[in-house]
Amino acid sequence: MKKLLLSLLLIPFLLGCQNNQNNSADISIEQYINVPIEELSLMEDDTYQINTEIIKAGTIVYYSSMNEEIASVSDSGLITAKKEGTTDIVIRGGKDTFNIYLEVTHYQAKDSLQIILEKDSFTLEVGDEYLLPLQVMRGNEVINNAELSFDIDNKNIISINGLTVSALNVGTTKCVVTARYGEEEVSKGFNITVY
Protein backbone atom coordinates (compact mmCIF):
# COMPACT_ATOMS: atom_id res chain seq x y z
CA MET A 1 0.00 0.00 0.00
CA LYS A 2 2.89 2.34 0.83
CA LYS A 3 4.42 1.61 -2.58
CA LEU A 4 1.14 2.44 -4.29
CA LEU A 5 0.79 5.75 -2.41
CA LEU A 6 4.40 6.64 -3.14
CA SER A 7 3.88 5.87 -6.83
CA LEU A 8 0.73 8.03 -6.96
CA LEU A 9 2.60 10.92 -5.31
CA LEU A 10 5.52 10.65 -7.74
CA ILE A 11 3.40 10.68 -10.93
CA PRO A 12 2.60 14.43 -10.88
CA PHE A 13 6.23 15.20 -10.04
CA LEU A 14 7.51 13.07 -12.95
CA LEU A 15 4.97 14.54 -15.36
CA GLY A 16 6.01 18.04 -14.32
CA CYS A 17 9.67 17.19 -15.02
CA GLN A 18 8.76 15.82 -18.44
CA ASN A 19 6.85 18.98 -19.34
CA ASN A 20 9.79 21.13 -18.32
CA GLN A 21 12.13 19.00 -20.47
CA ASN A 22 9.82 19.32 -23.48
CA ASN A 23 9.59 23.09 -23.06
CA SER A 24 13.35 23.49 -22.91
CA ALA A 25 13.80 21.34 -26.05
CA ASP A 26 11.13 23.26 -28.00
CA ILE A 27 13.36 26.21 -28.94
CA SER A 28 12.74 27.38 -32.51
CA ILE A 29 15.66 28.16 -34.83
CA GLU A 30 15.87 31.85 -35.67
CA GLN A 31 15.10 32.63 -39.32
CA TYR A 32 16.42 35.78 -41.02
CA ILE A 33 14.82 35.69 -44.49
CA ASN A 34 12.35 33.64 -46.52
CA VAL A 35 12.16 33.18 -50.31
CA PRO A 36 8.76 31.95 -51.52
CA ILE A 37 9.92 30.14 -54.71
CA GLU A 38 12.37 27.31 -55.44
CA GLU A 39 12.09 27.06 -59.25
CA LEU A 40 11.57 29.60 -62.02
CA SER A 41 11.33 29.50 -65.81
CA LEU A 42 11.92 32.61 -67.93
CA MET A 43 12.37 33.31 -71.62
CA GLU A 44 15.44 35.14 -72.91
CA ASP A 45 15.32 38.89 -72.08
CA ASP A 46 12.57 38.37 -69.47
CA THR A 47 12.98 39.81 -65.98
CA TYR A 48 11.66 38.67 -62.60
CA GLN A 49 11.74 40.43 -59.23
CA ILE A 50 12.51 38.12 -56.28
CA ASN A 51 10.26 39.02 -53.36
CA THR A 52 12.46 38.16 -50.40
CA GLU A 53 10.69 38.35 -47.06
CA ILE A 54 12.92 39.82 -44.35
CA ILE A 55 11.94 38.14 -41.07
CA LYS A 56 14.64 39.54 -38.79
CA ALA A 57 14.75 43.34 -39.06
CA GLY A 58 18.03 44.79 -40.25
CA THR A 59 19.08 41.68 -42.22
CA ILE A 60 21.02 42.55 -45.37
CA VAL A 61 20.19 40.36 -48.38
CA TYR A 62 22.78 39.41 -51.03
CA TYR A 63 21.90 38.04 -54.47
CA SER A 64 24.18 36.21 -56.92
CA SER A 65 23.95 34.08 -60.06
CA MET A 66 25.97 30.90 -60.42
CA ASN A 67 26.24 31.59 -64.19
CA GLU A 68 26.16 35.24 -65.27
CA GLU A 69 26.04 34.22 -68.96
CA ILE A 70 22.64 32.55 -68.44
CA ALA A 71 21.13 35.13 -66.07
CA SER A 72 22.20 38.03 -63.92
CA VAL A 73 20.65 39.34 -60.71
CA SER A 74 20.83 42.89 -59.38
CA ASP A 75 21.55 43.97 -55.79
CA SER A 76 17.80 44.44 -55.35
CA GLY A 77 16.91 40.92 -56.58
CA LEU A 78 15.87 41.63 -60.19
CA ILE A 79 16.72 38.62 -62.37
CA THR A 80 17.47 39.25 -66.07
CA ALA A 81 17.41 36.15 -68.29
CA LYS A 82 20.18 36.37 -70.90
CA LYS A 83 20.45 33.14 -72.87
CA GLU A 84 19.07 29.62 -72.98
CA GLY A 85 20.33 27.34 -70.20
CA THR A 86 20.02 26.70 -66.47
CA THR A 87 21.60 28.23 -63.39
CA ASP A 88 21.00 28.77 -59.69
CA ILE A 89 20.20 32.17 -58.20
CA VAL A 90 21.56 32.30 -54.64
CA ILE A 91 19.95 34.50 -51.95
CA ARG A 92 21.79 34.99 -48.65
CA GLY A 93 20.66 36.84 -45.55
CA GLY A 94 21.98 36.41 -42.01
CA LYS A 95 22.56 32.68 -41.56
CA ASP A 96 19.99 31.72 -44.23
CA THR A 97 20.77 30.68 -47.81
CA PHE A 98 18.15 29.93 -50.47
CA ASN A 99 18.62 28.74 -54.06
CA ILE A 100 16.23 29.30 -56.96
CA TYR A 101 16.71 26.86 -59.84
CA LEU A 102 16.30 28.95 -63.00
CA GLU A 103 15.65 27.65 -66.49
CA VAL A 104 15.98 30.14 -69.34
CA THR A 105 14.27 29.10 -72.57
CA HIS A 106 14.72 30.47 -76.05
CA TYR A 107 12.43 33.37 -76.87
CA GLN A 108 9.77 32.39 -79.41
CA ALA A 109 7.20 34.95 -80.36
CA LYS A 110 4.61 33.48 -82.67
CA ASP A 111 3.56 36.66 -84.43
CA SER A 112 6.54 38.99 -84.26
CA LEU A 113 9.77 39.23 -86.20
CA GLN A 114 12.94 38.27 -84.34
CA ILE A 115 16.68 38.03 -84.95
CA ILE A 116 18.35 34.81 -83.80
CA LEU A 117 22.09 34.90 -83.03
CA GLU A 118 23.91 31.95 -81.42
CA LYS A 119 25.64 34.30 -78.96
CA ASP A 120 26.01 38.01 -78.23
CA SER A 121 29.80 38.31 -78.51
CA PHE A 122 32.32 37.01 -81.03
CA THR A 123 36.13 36.85 -81.04
CA LEU A 124 38.21 37.02 -84.23
CA GLU A 125 41.83 37.52 -85.23
CA VAL A 126 43.03 40.28 -87.55
CA GLY A 127 42.54 39.09 -91.13
CA ASP A 128 39.75 36.60 -90.29
CA GLU A 129 36.53 36.43 -92.26
CA TYR A 130 33.56 35.05 -90.35
CA LEU A 131 30.02 34.23 -91.43
CA LEU A 132 27.63 35.48 -88.73
CA PRO A 133 25.30 32.66 -87.53
CA LEU A 134 22.25 34.92 -87.88
CA GLN A 135 18.68 34.09 -88.84
CA VAL A 136 15.55 36.20 -89.07
CA MET A 137 12.45 34.35 -87.91
CA ARG A 138 8.77 34.77 -87.21
CA GLY A 139 7.83 32.04 -84.76
CA ASN A 140 9.26 28.83 -86.30
CA GLU A 141 9.36 30.23 -89.84
CA VAL A 142 12.74 31.36 -91.23
CA ILE A 143 12.47 34.64 -93.17
CA ASN A 144 15.15 34.48 -95.90
CA ASN A 145 14.32 37.72 -97.70
CA ALA A 146 14.41 40.16 -94.77
CA GLU A 147 16.40 43.34 -95.41
CA LEU A 148 19.41 43.53 -93.05
CA SER A 149 21.46 46.56 -92.07
CA PHE A 150 24.36 46.84 -89.62
CA ASP A 151 25.38 49.78 -87.43
CA ILE A 152 29.03 49.38 -86.32
CA ASP A 153 30.38 51.66 -83.57
CA ASN A 154 34.01 51.43 -84.76
CA LYS A 155 34.39 50.70 -88.48
CA ASN A 156 38.20 50.60 -88.14
CA ILE A 157 37.91 47.27 -86.28
CA ILE A 158 35.54 45.32 -88.57
CA SER A 159 33.47 45.59 -91.73
CA ILE A 160 30.38 43.54 -92.57
CA ASN A 161 29.30 42.62 -96.11
CA GLY A 162 26.09 40.56 -96.21
CA LEU A 163 26.66 38.31 -93.18
CA THR A 164 30.45 38.11 -93.60
CA VAL A 165 32.49 39.91 -90.95
CA SER A 166 36.04 40.97 -91.87
CA ALA A 167 38.41 41.58 -88.94
CA LEU A 168 40.49 44.67 -89.79
CA ASN A 169 42.25 45.87 -86.62
CA VAL A 170 42.67 44.99 -82.93
CA GLY A 171 39.89 46.22 -80.63
CA THR A 172 36.28 45.70 -79.55
CA THR A 173 33.22 47.21 -81.17
CA LYS A 174 29.49 47.08 -80.56
CA CYS A 175 27.28 46.25 -83.53
CA VAL A 176 23.52 46.46 -84.01
CA VAL A 177 21.78 44.49 -86.74
CA THR A 178 18.34 45.63 -87.89
CA ALA A 179 16.01 43.38 -89.88
CA ARG A 180 13.10 44.75 -91.88
CA TYR A 181 10.36 42.61 -93.37
CA GLY A 182 7.16 44.19 -94.66
CA GLU A 183 6.00 46.65 -92.00
CA GLU A 184 7.99 44.98 -89.23
CA GLU A 185 11.43 45.96 -87.92
CA VAL A 186 13.55 44.44 -85.17
CA SER A 187 17.10 45.09 -83.90
CA LYS A 188 19.64 43.12 -81.87
CA GLY A 189 23.02 44.15 -80.45
CA PHE A 190 26.24 42.12 -80.24
CA ASN A 191 29.95 42.69 -79.65
CA ILE A 192 32.97 41.71 -81.74
CA THR A 193 36.50 41.61 -80.34
CA VAL A 194 39.48 41.38 -82.69
CA TYR A 195 42.93 40.26 -81.46
Q: Can you list the residues of the chain whose pLDDT is less than 50?
A: 1-2, 4-6, 8, 17-27
CATH architecture of 113-194: Sandwich (2.60)
Question: Where are the chain's structural domains?
Answer: 33-105, 113-194
Predicted local confidence at residue 26, as pLDDT:
43
Q: What is the DSSP letter of 4?
A: H
Angle at 195 between CA 164 and CA 150, to 5 degrees: 30
> pTM for this structure?
0.45
User: Which DSSP string do the residues of 136-167 spell out, in sequence order?
Assistant: EEETTEE-TT-EEEEEES-TTTEEEETTEEEE
Predicted local confidence at residue 118, as pLDDT:
79
Q: Which CATH number does 33-105 carry?
A: 2.60.40.1080
Contact 72, 82 (CB under 8 A): yes
Predicted local confidence at residue 108, as pLDDT:
60
Q: Collapse the DSSP code of 82 into the 3-class scheme (helix H, G, I; strand E, B; otherwise coil) and give the result.
A: coil
Contacts of 97 (CB under 8 A, 6+ apart): 90, 91
Check if 33-105 and 113-194 are the same fold: yes
User: Which DSSP string do the residues of 6-39 spell out, in sequence order?
Assistant: HHHHHHHHHHHHHHHHHHHH-PPPP--EE-S-SE
Contacts of 77 (CB under 8 A, 6+ apart): 49, 50, 51, 52, 61, 63, 91
User: pLDDT digit string (tens) for 144-189?
Assistant: 999 999 999 999 999 999 999 999 999 999 999 999 998 889 998 9
